[in-house]
Chain A
Amino acid sequence: MPQLYPPSANALVRWSLIGGGVFVVLLVTALTFLARTSNNRVGVPVAQPVDFPHNTHVVDLGLDCRYCHSTVETSNTASVPSTETCMTCHSQIRTNTPQLEPVFASWEADVPIAWNRVHDLPDYTYFDHSVHVNNGVGCSSCHGRVDQMRTAFKTEAMTMGWCLECHRDPATQLRPRSEVFNMEYSHPSRPEVQRAIGEQLIAAYHIDTDRLIQCSTCHR
């Protein structure tokens, strides 16, 4: 009877053992990389059809956030301004700047500008701007120092875990309503001071902290 396994079979077994090991390591590495939820454009400026410099408008010109994002206090969306809003100033100012060509074209042709969304939550998450800014969550808490950005980018991963950090313990993040639109506001450096302020604000704004961690608060 001939041998069932030729001698070369030993090598095959050895190589498959090694190959199998390598495969598992590669797989784990690949999955780990893919599973990194921060791999979602944090810190990557998003090119826009109009090269709009936030820093110029906010710092140099002193525009309030709400001049353009006008519905942030009343609606779920802060809203991206209409072309008309741009044209309130740019019909008079810098009317020859090539950067503004798309704005003028939109205005002339009555065709809206299609901006690229920077902060995109999943469709089953219903975020409401108004209730946050009216209850002491500052713009910069989620969006970072937009006043210093030339082209806007995300500063936070905006995962559910990140949302819950604050929803579970809002005292660490709240600021007085008067400071909500202040991009330069900095929270007290000592955590216990911030906590004391935060708890005062929770009481003053009647924030139902139980409610913040309910599924139905954000998901419908």
Chain B
Amino acid sequence: MLDMPPMNPPQEDERRDFQRLREKLAGQQGPAYWRSLGELADTEEFREFVAKEFPRQAAPLENGLDRRDFLKLLGASMALAGLSACARPPLPHEKIVPYVRGPAEVVPGKPLFYATAVTYGGFAEGVLAESHQGRPTKLEGNPDHPASRGATGATTQAEVLALYDPDRSTTVMEGDQERTWDDFVAALGAAVGGLADGQGLAVLTENVTSPTLAAQLQQVLAAVPGASWYQWDPLHPDNEVAGARLAFGADVRPVYDLTRADVVVSLGADFLDRGPGRLAHARDFAQRRRALRADADMNRLYQLESSPSPTGVLADHRVPLRPSEIAAAAAVLAARLGVDAPAAEAPAGLSAALLDAMVADLQGAQGAAVVIAGAEQPPVVHALAAAMNAALGAVGTTVTYVANPAARPAVHVEEIAALTAAMRDGAVGALLVLGANPVYTAPADLGFADALARVPFSAHVGLYRDETALACTWHVPQTHFLETWGDARAYDGTVTITQPLILPFYGGKSHHEVLAALLGDPAATAYDVVRGYWQGRVSGDFEAFWRESVYRGVVAGTAEPPAAVTPAGSVAGPLPQGSDLEVVLTHDHGVLDGRLANNGWMQELPRPISKLTWDNAALMAPRTAERLNVGTGDVVTLTVDGRSVDVPVLVQPGQADGAVTVALGYGRTAGGSVANGVGVDAYPLLATATGHTAPVQVATTGRRYRLVTTQEHHALEGTGEARHIVRSGTLAQFRAEPEHPTFAHPVAHHSEDLYPDFVYEGYKWGMVIDQTVCTGCSACVVACQAENNVPIVGKEQVWRNREMHWLRVDSYYGGSIDDPRFYAQPMPCQHCEKAPCEPVCPVGATVHDSEGLNVMVYNRCVGTRYCSNNCPYKVRRFNYLQYAELDTSATPLSLANNPDVTVRSRGVMEKCTYCTQRISRARIEAANEDRRIRDLEVVTACQAACPTQAIVFGDLNLEGSAVNEMKASPINYTLLDDLQTFPRTSYLAKVTNPNPALEGSA
């Protein structure tokens, strides 16, 4: 395989002259859209990306062929070409293996869906898992679940790959010795039974919302003298808990009803993409944001944030601020709203006019307003948000406070500190780690690994033999959530009883089973334990309760009622100390805290906005980079409290000046073959005292590192020119004139055609993507990958522009490079009615079908790549190498494949099919019932996953269909319509709703 060339030493022209770019943008008329700093600087590299579908081809053969060898090869190829017409000699017969006893509900060839739930930070999001005769292949959202509402996040889609990951641990280990479960049970019993005086058993879990697990833990605490239970979950919103204690003196958490919010102020909260309830927030927020018609009633979002986020993409007013400035802004805003808040000065980035407008807007909304604090913000900001919501009369309308659904709400950083101290003092004789990976994730100042070494018996139960597993004396493989019974609670308290889809694939035990063993019942199954817990707690017909709860994926009536709490009228407490440079440590959009680091889908997913893949980086604003004299790819040393890491810089427009954002979850050393060595471990910067935001020192190293982003890949020609690829405007403009020039750019079409138009008499499929509500979260990209067996290619191949995602989310910027607006534009195949790819195919491998689909016939394709060369939207993907595994027995990952979609081989072109397999399924079902396909009967994978329902698909020939309703909007448009390709995929222009009081300054 070819390697990427090393990065050049920093050159002056590589350091972008940001001032020149600013002047260039300032000189432009009208709304200026741009794709990257490279485009603005008009670099050679960017021009190549625009001009070629696949730049950075393999270099020509190094020792070029001479004429004689060339003719020899030519002749041989001609002579052997005939062989390809031959049938293969008969292969051995394929086997058909039917059931011995067929389960009544299984119809071979038809998938079944089972309700269960995935948990992040302990909080459940309901899913429906698709099972093909016992093999889970895809996760869809559970419409009945309050935290899913039918949608899924990007990470959820990738969980099915994690299930089959061959790097998962398979055997019980004691040090380097393979052991059995029985050995472990004996050793655990001996260790707990033989605890020395003054030593206790410590159990470390992640955030526990599972009622069953909580009950088991209570039994352990009661049964084992001196036992203690600690929680450490890097995804847990610690500051939210601490903030609630500050504000209410109680363990409550806010539940937002964004359908009732006219005005939303976010204090560093990425509430549409992160944290408990994100999918519900996204669904509700989008419901109040859609602007199909000029009379739409839109909400308004003021987003204060340090780093561009999917939520920031939808902001009407976005204010980039360093973390300490957000806290100061929160205090100033709170004081203006009548809260007794700590004194603070408004940060420079927050203008007096904007502050006035925000205050007026919030107060004018009369309760239909809400302030949301971000997970990384210090507790005082959460307390301020609570006080502001009370002052605004929002409590009971847009926000209710409910008892925290966690079994024992805790500030996890305090817990891990206490545990480490106890271990260091020798007070822990036996440690049981359930699921967590503290050796990798614990705050660096604690020295967790050193303290762990002092514990005589330590056992780790986890999916991987990870950093913590290696540091413990014992390791037990854990079951994936699709392999075990369990229960968990959602952000609002709703309980889901989770059911397994498959027997433990790699062996393994669930937390319930390990705790049952500790309590003396090593033979208990998770089913027994969970069912046993609920059996004692339900009145009436238990079987009916159990069946209904498991079937629905929710236990009825378990949502927490609103708690009767009022926040303290005044918020004391120091605001965080600011600094010129502050680091923000976030969990990564893809690999989270590192738990999905061995998941290739997540590593290769271009991160929202930055489009970075296979790495993390120090995101910096152009001004910060200018000040530090660094550019993208320069490695810098970040130092917090004397602990340093070296991270490559990525200059990110829209980042707050002085904020350096680094994603956690990278630089794994024992994460698996995919995870190890990817990116930089930023956990050394995480300290108990400072948390996720801290003042940081930045020093240059002089080294360079190749970061690979897809931001400039597949760039459409004419982003900045007058082709109006992105269209946007304000609600005021829309109301004034539906055909406002900011939205409408009619192009002259040929009045006459040589041939009559084809008439689509049956179904006529089309799609609309609403940019007004698209956050760019990329759940659709991973959903497409899971549905359509899209392979991953690795960092080096991504650098060569060869990523295989059928659906990409293009990210555009508007306005200045220091405070740009963001535009997310998902790009599937446009399914042009007059598709430029079709006439150039010499073998008819890409053709139109009678329903308007531009179909790709793999078995005809010979790989000339003429089609992709002729595609103006650059949506075609070519298998340069054998990316997909064709031998289904070679890797268990093949089990995640969708059996309804062909696995493509090397040399074949592929692209979005509008999920033709789902259309086929619906068409056959409709034909069998002798009817037409109903509206919304075919839901594409991207559409199903979308948290904001930005993607709508359907039959254009069906009157009143959802897709037709969208297409009738005056702001519906097709991309590059001057080419007259007549795409079936169209877009709704992005409508924003900035405060009219700030007209001109926005």
Q: Which residue numbers of A lie inside 8 Å of B, CB to CB? A: 31, 34-37, 39-41, 46, 71, 73-77, 79-85, 106-107, 110-118, 120, 122-124, 126, 128, 130-131, 134-135, 205-206, 208, 210-211, 214-217, 219-220
Decide if A77 touches B109 in the complex (CB within 8 Å): yes
Taking the closest CB of chain B, its distance from the CB of A181, in whole angstroms, is: 16
Decide if B901 touches A114 in the complex (CB within 8 Å): no
CA distance A76 to B108 in the complex (A): 8
A214: chain B residues at CB < 8 Å are 849-851, 855
Decide if B97 touches A31 in the complex (CB within 8 Å): no
Residue of B98, B99, B851, B858 with highest tally of chain A CB at under 10 A: B98
User: Known contacts A40-B87, A122-B859: does B97 contact A75 (CB below 8 Å)?
Assistant: no
Decide if A210 touches B850 in the complex (CB within 8 Å): yes
Decide if B98 touches A220 in the complex (CB within 8 Å): no
| 15 A-B contacts (beta carbon < 8 Å) | A35-B87, A39-B87, A39-B90, A40-B90, A82-B100, A83-B101, A117-B95, A126-B900, A211-B762, A211-B851, A211-B923, A215-B849, A215-B857, A216-B919, A217-B920
User: Known contacts A84-B102, A216-B855: does B928 contact A131 (CB below 8 Å)?
Assistant: yes
Q: For chain B residues 897-921, which have a beta carbon within 8 Å of chain A?
A: 900-903, 913, 916-917, 919-920
Interface window among B28-36, B78-86, B492-500:
B78-86
A34: chain B residues at CB < 8 Å are 86-87
CA distance A214 to B760 in the complex (A): 13
Decide if A117 touches B857 in the complex (CB within 8 Å): no
Q: Chain B contact residues: over half helix, strand or loop, or mixed?
A: loop
Residue of A nearest to B83 (CB): A31
CA distance A94 to B855 in the complex (A): 53
Q: For chain B residues 72-131, which have a beta carbon within 8 Å of chain A?
A: 82-83, 85-87, 90, 93-102, 107-110
Decide if B924 touches A128 in the complex (CB within 8 Å): yes
Taking the closest CB of chain B, its distance from the CB of A67, in whole angstroms, is: 13
Decide if A216 touches B928 in the complex (CB within 8 Å): no
Name A84's contact: one of B85, B101, B855, B859 (CB within 8 Å): B101
CA distance A206 to B933 in the complex (A): 13
Name B930's contact: one of A41, A113, A116, A206 (CB within 8 Å): A206
Taking the closest CB of chain A, its distance from the CB of B844, in whole angstroms, is: 9
Taking the closest CB of chain B, its distance from the CB of A80, in whole angstroms, is: 5
Residue of B nearest to A49 (CB): B95
Residue of B nearest to A159 (CB): B87
Decide if A120 touches B108 in the complex (CB within 8 Å): no
* In the A-B complex, the 7 residue pairs with the closest CB atoms: A116-B93, A75-B109, A34-B86, A82-B102, A214-B849, A82-B99, A117-B94
Name B97's contact: one of A37, A71, A112, A130 (CB within 8 Å): A112
Name B850's contact: one of A73, A77, A211 (CB within 8 Å): A211
User: Known contacts A71-B108, A83-B101: does B87 contact A124 (CB below 8 Å)?
Assistant: no
Is B853 in contact with chain A by the CB < 8 A criterion?
Answer: yes
CA distance A219 to B900 in the complex (A): 10
Decide if B108 touches A81 in the complex (CB within 8 Å): no
Beyond A71-B110, A83-B98, A220-B916, 16 extra complex contacts between A and B, CB < 8 Å: A40-B87, A71-B107, A75-B108, A82-B100, A106-B100, A115-B97, A117-B93, A117-B94, A117-B96, A124-B902, A128-B924, A135-B927, A206-B927, A210-B761, A216-B853, A220-B917
B851: chain A residues at CB < 8 Å are 211, 214, 216
CA distance A74 to B901 in the complex (A): 20
CA distance A208 to B928 in the complex (A): 13
B902: chain A residues at CB < 8 Å are 123-124, 219-220
CA distance A85 to B99 in the complex (A): 10
Is B350 in contact with chain A by the CB < 8 A criterion?
Answer: no
Is B847 in contact with chain A by the CB < 8 A criterion?
Answer: yes
CA distance A152 to B627 in the complex (A): 79
Decide if B920 touches A130 in the complex (CB within 8 Å): no
Residue of B nearest to A31 (CB): B82
Q: Which residue numbers of B lie inside 8 Å of A, CB to CB? A: 82-83, 85-87, 90, 93-102, 107-110, 761-762, 847, 849-851, 853, 855, 857-859, 900-903, 913, 916-917, 919-920, 923-924, 927-928, 930
User: Known contacts A36-B87, A208-B762, A210-B850: does B924 contact A130 (CB below 8 Å)?
Assistant: yes
Decide if A112 touches B98 in the complex (CB within 8 Å): yes
CA distance A175 to B868 in the complex (A): 44
User: Known contacts A117-B95, A219-B857: does B100 contact A134 (CB below 8 Å)?
Assistant: no
CA distance A71 to B916 in the complex (A): 23
Decide if B110 touches A220 in the complex (CB within 8 Å): no
A217: chain B residues at CB < 8 Å are 849, 920
Decide if B95 touches A82 in the complex (CB within 8 Å): no
CA distance A214 to B848 in the complex (A): 8
Decide if A210 touches B762 in the complex (CB within 8 Å): yes
Decide if B108 touches A79 in the complex (CB within 8 Å): yes
B99: chain A residues at CB < 8 Å are 82-84, 112
Residue of A nearest to B928 (CB): A134
B87: chain A residues at CB < 8 Å are 34-37, 39-40
CA distance A126 to B900 in the complex (A): 8
Residue of B85, B107, B927 with highest tally of chain A CB at under 10 A: B927
User: Known contacts A34-B86, A214-B850: does B98 contact A115 (CB below 8 Å)?
Assistant: yes
Decide if A220 touches B900 in the complex (CB within 8 Å): yes
Residue of B nearest to A135 (CB): B927
Decide if A79 touches B100 in the complex (CB within 8 Å): no
Decide if B924 touches A205 in the complex (CB within 8 Å): no
Residue of B nearest to A133 (CB): B928
B101: chain A residues at CB < 8 Å are 82-84, 110
Residue of A nearest to B788 (CB): A220
CA distance A206 to B851 in the complex (A): 16
Taking the closest CB of chain A, its distance from the CB of B465, in whole angstroms, is: 33
CA distance A41 to B87 in the complex (A): 12
Name A82's contact: one of B98, B762, B859, B917 (CB within 8 Å): B98
Residue of B83, B96, B97 with highest tally of chain A CB at under 10 A: B96
A206: chain B residues at CB < 8 Å are 927, 930
Taking the closest CB of chain B, its distance from the CB of A45, in whole angstroms, is: 12
A85: chain B residues at CB < 8 Å are 102
CA distance A111 to B99 in the complex (A): 8
Decide if A83 touches B100 in the complex (CB within 8 Å): yes
B102: chain A residues at CB < 8 Å are 82, 84-85
Decide if A41 touches B90 in the complex (CB within 8 Å): yes
Decide if B855 touches A46 in the complex (CB within 8 Å): no
A205: chain B residues at CB < 8 Å are 930
A77: chain B residues at CB < 8 Å are 108-109
CA distance A135 to B927 in the complex (A): 8
User: Known contacts A80-B96, A82-B102: does B86 contact A74 (CB below 8 Å)?
Assistant: no
B853: chain A residues at CB < 8 Å are 216
User: Known contacts A35-B85, A82-B102, A211-B762: does B97 contact A216 (CB below 8 Å)?
Assistant: no
Name B849's contact: one of A46, A71, A216 (CB within 8 Å): A216
A83: chain B residues at CB < 8 Å are 98-101
B913: chain A residues at CB < 8 Å are 216, 220
A134: chain B residues at CB < 8 Å are 927-928
CA distance A46 to B94 in the complex (A): 11
Name B859's contact: one of A71, A80, A113, A219 (CB within 8 Å): A219
CA distance A111 to B101 in the complex (A): 10
Residue of A111, A116, A215 with highest tally of chain B CB at under 10 A: A215
Decide if B858 touches A124 in the complex (CB within 8 Å): yes
Taking the closest CB of chain B, its distance from the CB of A164, in whole angstroms, is: 14
Residue of A nearest to B86 (CB): A34
Taking the closest CB of chain A, its distance from the CB of B334, in whole angstroms, is: 56
B923: chain A residues at CB < 8 Å are 211
Residue of B86, B917, B930 with highest tally of chain A CB at under 10 A: B86
Decide if A31 touches B93 in the complex (CB within 8 Å): no
CA distance A17 to B629 in the complex (A): 76
A124: chain B residues at CB < 8 Å are 858-859, 902
User: Known contacts A77-B109, A214-B849: does B97 contact A114 (CB below 8 Å)?
Assistant: yes
Residue of B nearest to A134 (CB): B928
CA distance A130 to B919 in the complex (A): 16
Taking the closest CB of chain B, its distance from the CB of A46, in whole angstroms, is: 6
B916: chain A residues at CB < 8 Å are 216, 220
Residue of B nearest to A84 (CB): B101
